Amino acid sequence: MLIVLAALSVCVGCISYHTPPLDRRVTVAPDLGTVVWVTDVRLTKAQSQHYTLQANVVNNTSGVVRMEYRVVWLDTNGVEIPSVVSTWQPMSAAAREIVGLTATAPVPEAVDFRFYVQAARPGN
């Protein structure tokens, strides 16, 4: 019995779960499931005092994926800053492609963000 338990504990370490990285600021819509992941999310402040978001969108499939993304900028209280740049932007990623995205905050008062990705709507 002890040999079986020891063997099982060794095998458990061998199991690999392929899961997306988690970042509370990123939301991938359920309609994409694990089709795409958002990785390498970084926020840096430029000399202009505006934050810049950099992120990679990874297509985990063997086909082209059409999607849309949106960046919402937040102030120090976590309130959305209205901006024309916070609109849905179409994009596509080829099979297994990693697409790098960059977005710059519209005002220096933006200190945080939310990044959303969803499947492309018909006509987009």
Domains defined along the chain, listed by start: 24-119 (2.60.40.3230)
pLDDT digits (tens, 9 = 90+) for 15-63: 444 566 689 999 999 999 889 999 999 999 988 899 999 999 999 999 9
- Reported as a single tens digit per residue, the pLDDT across 98-121 is 999 999 999 999 999 999 999 998
Contacts 24+ apart (CB under 8 A), 27-32: 27/114, 27/115, 27/116, 27/117, 28/117, 28/118, 29/116, 29/117, 29/118, 29/119, 31/118, 31/119, 32/65, 32/67, 32/117, 32/118, 32/119
Alpha helices by DSSP H, listed for 1-124, are 2-12
pLDDT of residue 47: 87
**What's the pLDDT score for residue 105?**
96
Q: Which amino acid is at 101?
A: L
Q: 105 vs 6, 54, 86, CA distance in Å? A: 54, 11, 10
Q: How far is CA 54 from the centre of its chain?
A: 10
- Residues 51-98 have pLDDT tens digits of 999 999 999 999 999 999 999 999 999 999 999 889 999 999 999 999
Q: Are 101 and 55 in contact (CB under 8 A)?
A: yes
- pLDDT for 8 beyond 50: no
Do the Cβ atoms of 119 and 29 come closer than 8 Å? yes
Residue 19 pLDDT: 60
Give dist(CA 77, CA 37) in Å, integer: 28
Residue 40 is predicted with a pLDDT of: 94
User: Can you give the pLDDT at residue 10?
Assistant: 46
